[in-house]
């Protein structure tokens, strides 16, 4: 089984080919990713209109390159999969339309993939992981703990009541006038700073329900910044280190609560899986490794390039769905919001 995946939900344009041989493990034949960092750097964040136009300019070329590097022709594919949400609607439409056009032209099945489901299933590509397991999804737009029970079968255990953790990293970077993208800059400077200099809150610590909150932590950083006044390099590094330490402590405490709730609802998890762009943060990865050792739960950390947005995960989710006979027609619409667990209560707006 061989599937082409297309990803355009935010500021990475990506195309990949993944195959699943009979009785074998998934294999990434190509995984082309083109970042738009340079286009958005002047604005300090992703501009949806610029992102959509950039996807239009490069997606055809990326698909051609992915097929070429995989040694695959369009006619060799078993299906075309494209991310249909959630994300920036203009960008989603570019990738979704491209995927539909290729499916129509080749007569291949089309599969609309939930970007979050692709993150959730990546560990099955990299580690052949069996269901059920706990997913910690940490990115610029999402911070969730989800019980992954099967393809299309998810139970959200906890979510953020305000900012996603990646969003908090980026906002702190903006306060400190760090270059875009801010999250990796905060991580880099944190390695040079004193994490104990500034006493910052650990929101939601100790609560039974594994929800997250980062807005108060972000505000505390701003207040400390105002109190310090002049920003020496040491001040900035110490603020980054103190913020990151607080964020890590919060993530670990909330994940521990998520594991407890998972056991109560479903029994023992086969593993704890981490996905999303923030999962590339080395301090968070080290802390989660310690948590795995403490709890005796296997920790699965996909390679950093498969934690950030990529098309290999879209292609793999396409394979998972195609294996179950789950395909879509050309009327499938792009979705700016598309929760994994449609029955979960949205902590912002009631029902998701």
* CATH number of domain containing 136: 3.30.420.40
d(CA 77, CA 103) in angstroms, rounded, equals 10
Structure confidence at residue 268 (pLDDT)? 93
For residues 43 and 77, membership in a common domain is answered with yes
Neighbours of 322 (CB within 10 A): 18
For residues 189 and 234, membership in a common domain is answered with yes
d(CA 61, CA 44) in angstroms, rounded, equals 27
What H or E segment, with its residue span, contains residue 272?
strand 272-275
For residues 318 and 176, membership in a common domain is answered with no
Structure confidence at residue 345 (pLDDT)? 61
- Phi/psi for 349 (5° steps) reads -130, 20
Q: Which of 44, 346, 53 is nearest to 175 (CA)?
A: 44
For residues 140 and 272, membership in a common domain is answered with yes
For residues 173 and 261, membership in a common domain is answered with yes
Residue 117 carries which DSSP code?
Answer: H
Structure confidence at residue 351 (pLDDT)? 31
User: Would you write out the chain's pLDDT as a tens digit for each of its 352 residues?
Assistant: 999 999 999 999 999 999 999 988 999 999 999 988 778 877 777 888 899 999 999 999 999 999 999 999 999 999 999 999 999 999 999 999 999 999 999 999 999 999 999 999 999 999 999 999 999 999 888 999 999 999 999 999 999 999 999 999 999 999 999 998 899 999 999 999 999 999 999 999 999 999 999 999 999 999 999 999 878 999 999 999 999 999 999 999 999 999 999 999 999 999 999 999 899 899 999 999 999 999 999 999 999 899 989 999 999 999 999 999 999 999 999 999 999 998 876 554 333 3
For residues 140 and 109, membership in a common domain is answered with no
2-7/12-19 β-pairing = antiparallel
For residues 293 and 330, membership in a common domain is answered with no
For residues 116 and 228, membership in a common domain is answered with no
For residues 98 and 183, membership in a common domain is answered with no
Structure confidence at residue 344 (pLDDT)? 76
Residue 203 carries which DSSP code?
Answer: T
For residues 182 and 118, membership in a common domain is answered with no
Q: Which of 286, 292, 134 is nearest to 210 (CA)?
A: 134
Which residues, in sequence order, are CB contacts of 99 under 8 Å at separation 6+?
A: 6, 80, 81, 82, 110
Structure confidence at residue 260 (pLDDT)? 97
- Structure tokens given for 317: 């989710």
The count of structural domains within the chain is 2
Parent domain of 272: 132-304
- Structure tokens given for 26: 């998934």
Structure confidence at residue 342 (pLDDT)? 85
- Walk across the sheet containing 12-19 and list its strands: 27-35, 12-19, 2-7, 79-85, 110-114
- Phi/psi for 69 (5° steps) reads -70, -25
d(CA 280, CA 209) in angstroms, rounded, equals 25
Question: Phi-psi category of 313—alpha, beta or left, where left has phi over 0 and alpha has psi -120 to 50?
Answer: alpha
For residues 260 and 163, membership in a common domain is answered with yes
For residues 41 and 109, membership in a common domain is answered with yes
- Structure tokens given for 218: 């972000």
Structure confidence at residue 46 (pLDDT)? 83
d(CA 25, CA 9) in angstroms, rounded, equals 27
């Amino acid at each position: 089984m061989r599937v082409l995946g297309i990803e355009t939900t935010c500021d990475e344009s990506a195309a990949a080919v993944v195959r699943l041989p009979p009785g074998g493990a998934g294999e990434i034949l190509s995984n082309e990713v083109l970042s738009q960092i340079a286009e958005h750097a002047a604005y300090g964040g992703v501009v949806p209109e610029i992102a959509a136009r950039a996807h239009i300019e490069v997606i055809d070329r990326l698909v051609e390159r992915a097929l070429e590097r995989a040694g695959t022709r369009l006619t060799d594919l078993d299906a075309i999969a494209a991310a249909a949400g959630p994300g920036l609607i203009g960008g989603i439409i570019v990738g979704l339309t491209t995927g539909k056009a290729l499916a129509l032209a080749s007569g291949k099945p089309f599969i609309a993939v939930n970007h979050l489901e692709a993150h959730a299933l990546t560990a099955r590509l990299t580690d052949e992981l069996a269901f059920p397991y706990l997913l910690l999804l940490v990115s610029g737009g999402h911070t969730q703990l989800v019980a992954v029970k099967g393809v299309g079968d998810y139970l959200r255990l906890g979510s953020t009541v305000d900012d996603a953790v990646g969003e908090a990293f980026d906002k702190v970077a903006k306060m400190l006038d760090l270059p875009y993208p801010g999250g990796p800059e905060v991580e880099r400077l944190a390695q040079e700073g004193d994490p104990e200099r500034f006493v910052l809150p650990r929101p939601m610590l100790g609560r039974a329900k594994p929800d997250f909150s980062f807005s108060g932590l972000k505000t505390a950083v701003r207040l400390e910044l105002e109190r310090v006044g002049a920003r020496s390099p040491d001040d900035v590094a110490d603020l980054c280190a103190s913020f990151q330490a607080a964020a890590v402590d919060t993530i670990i405490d909330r994940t521990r609560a998520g594991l407890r709730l998972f056991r109560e609802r479903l029994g023992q998890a086969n593993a704890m899986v981490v996905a999303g762009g923030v999962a590339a943060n080395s301090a968070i990865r080290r802390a989660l490794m310690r948590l795995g050792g403490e709890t005796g739960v296997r920790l699965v950390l996909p390679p950093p390039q498969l934690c950030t947005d990529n098309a290999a995960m879209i292609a793999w989710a396409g394979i998972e769905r195609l294996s179950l006979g789950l395909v879509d027609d050309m009327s499938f619409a792009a979705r700016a919001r598309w929760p994994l667990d449609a029955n979960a209560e949205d902590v912002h707006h009631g029902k998701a």
